[in-house]
Amino acid sequence: GTVLFGRMQAGAGADRALGLYINTLPLRVKLQGPVLGAVKQVQQDLAGLLRHEHAPLALAQRCSGLESGVPLVTALLNYRHGLAQSAQDGATAREQEQALAGMTLLGGSEERTNYPFTLSVDDLGDAGLALSAQVSTPAQAPRVCALMQQALQGLVLALQSAPD
């Protein structure tokens, strides 16, 4: 599954509206053919998914053809690019801290999902990428992140040296 921002099609002023807009929808990735072709296909599929960013997961489940009770999404990729943008916009750590003044975060500071496998990629701009994973046992999050780092490095090398 992929996490969608949910505000892309929400109209003017959506960036100032309160509330959750995020949504998770399935995306099946077929890894075949040249590396560049596969990357372009994933990009095209993600762009096509945007027009459905407000579709409920229950609707996606019904349209999938899967039997009831079979999970539609068992792995989640969350690519977050807002962290670098906040820094570019001049939002310092102190300003971000002030924005949260008077608020109490409940339940600790750890992110949690109900998916057995969640990989989050934080785009830090020029500083690179940060990976974090939440996995059910027996998988180990540090091992998943190490494998993902290796896969990303291999993908970049393949795109640089032999994209076709």
- Same domain? For 80 and 161 the reply is yes
Structural contact between residues 84 and 124, judged by C-beta atoms closer than 8 angstroms:
yes
Q: Are both 65 and 98 inside the same structural domain?
A: no
Over 70: is that where the pLDDT of 161 sits? yes
Domain final residue pick, 73, 98, 131: 73
pLDDT confidence band for 18 (50 / 70 / 90): low
Which residues have a Cβ under 8 Å from the Cβ of 36 and sit 6 or more positions away?
Answer: 159, 163, 164
55-88 pLDDT, tens digit per residue, is 887 888 888 888 888 888 888 888 887 655 555 5
User: What CA–CA distance (Å, rounded) separates 39 from 37?
Assistant: 6
In a shared domain, residues 97 and 132: yes
C-beta separation of 13 from 140 below 8 A: no
- Of 14, 39, 73, at which residue does a domain stop? 73
What's the predicted TM-score (pTM) here?
Answer: 0.63
The answer on 82 and 67 residing in a single domain is no
**d(Cα 30, Cα 86) in Å, to the nearest integer?**
33
Strand partners, 121: 79, 131
The domain in which residue 63 lies consists of 1-73
User: Tens digit of pLDDT for each residue in 94-139?
Assistant: 666 666 677 776 666 666 777 888 888 888 888 888 888 888 877 7
